Amino acid sequence: MAHGTAKNKQQHYYTNNSGTPSYSSSSTSSSNSSAAAASSSTTNNENEPGDFLIGYGAFGVIWAVTDPRTSRRVALKKMPHVFQSVVAARRTFREIKMLCTFRHDNILQAVDILQPPSQVELFNEVYILTELMQIDLHKIIVSQQALSIDHCKVFLYQIFRGLKFLHSAGVIHRDLKPGNLLVNSDCLLKICDFGLARTEESDKTKRMTQEVVTQYYRAPELLLGTQHYSYAIDVWSVGCIFAELLGRRILFQASSPLKQ
């Protein structure tokens, strides 16, 4: 994937002492490295929106930042400790592959993957730039924002539209929930977070993990421990999301998978 960087430069984000992501550019020429870094460092002026934390979880931290190469506002996702286990590496690879491959109005797209450091021993985290969305559906549901039936229809239509695209590509998302549905002020919705997504198993005798999908949106067959499932688990999740949109509360909320 093209990085949009000068041939003789490496560009990457790092986290400064305050925890805020900053932009760094260093020349491959050792004699010019200090000058290049100084001239390429990012400064915020009064008219530019600042960088701020969007969210974080077990699998990464996401910031809203300005790409200094294009002045475009984007989301920067830091995925730490990506090589600490085979499971973590596989999850990271799946997400990167799908973000870079899919091109659809209702699927979040990667803008760029930033170059890792040249020293292999320092390469333990991945930075992905994606489209920047304004809010997720969970925050809308729990807010005081009025939601008409037309809003619900528009959101549901876009979820199914994006899901049809994924399923047509042979992909099961396996973690559909309001927090993984991003929305803009014009009600454009995009499905995100493909860390648990995988292609449907052509060998029906091969087992898949049942430890997928957030509990409240988990299909009955997953709760019963099956390791053979299909696209239907995503459709169940969408039904739960639709009910949550209408009622402004989680449809099936239990304290444990057993009670669920």
**Per-residue pLDDT tens digits for 10-63:** 444 444 444 545 544 333 333 333 333 333 333 344 345 678 888 876 678 899
Residue-range domain boundaries for the chain: 9-131, 135-247
Q: What is the pTM of this model?
A: 0.76
Catalytic site residue from 175, 186, 193, 203? 175
CATH code for the part of the protein at 135-247: 1.10.510.10
* CATH class of the domain comprising 9-131: alpha beta
Query: What would the pLDDT profile of 162-197 be if each residue is shown by its tens digit?
Result: 999 999 999 999 999 999 999 998 999 999 988 888
Tokens of 114: 């930033």
The answer to whether residue 193 is catalytic is no
Region of 73 on the Ramachandran plot (φ > 0 left; ψ -120 to 50 alpha; else beta): beta
Examine domains 9-131 and 135-247 and report if their fold is the same.
no
CA angle 229, 231, 237 (to 5 degrees): 100
Q: Is 77 annotated as a binding residue?
A: yes
Please provide the average confidence, as pLDDT, over all residues in the chain. Answer: 79
